Amino acid sequence: TLPSLAGPLDESGNPTDNPILSMLETICITWFTLEYILRFAGAPKKCDFLKDAMNIVDVLAILPFFISLAVLESTPEGEGQEGFNDIRKIVSVFRIMRIMRIFKLARHST
């Protein structure tokens, strides 16, 4: 990542998320989630909607955010460093999956 976009360091000296970029991400995910729910609610054939490839991409694009949020919120504050490192690795995998958002945005540009 670019050092100018990195967030402040935590007490261990590890970089944290940039609060402005985190807020922007939350706004975008909220928008994408609302859009998906509204399109699902308006779909005449719900099963066909769920099976459509682009709708699967939409779910795969927004799901990592909510899984990361659930994992981080369910982690006890006093948990040892080993457990936190494992959770950090899991969250990193879900963050990598966020590349699916590019496909979602590309769909709207055509």
Instruction: Identify the three-state secondary structure at position 28.
Output: helix
- What pLDDT sits at residue 14? 67
DSSP label of 7: -
- What pLDDT sits at residue 13? 67
Long-range contacts of 59-64 (CB under 8 A, 24+ apart): 60/97, 60/100, 61/32, 61/98, 61/100, 61/101, 61/103, 61/104, 62/29, 62/32, 62/33, 62/36, 63/94, 63/97, 64/94, 64/95, 64/97, 64/98
- What pLDDT sits at residue 39? 94
Instruction: Identify the three-state secondary structure at position 46.
Output: helix
- What pLDDT sits at residue 101? 64
What residues in the chain have per-residue pLDDT under 50?
Answer: 80-81
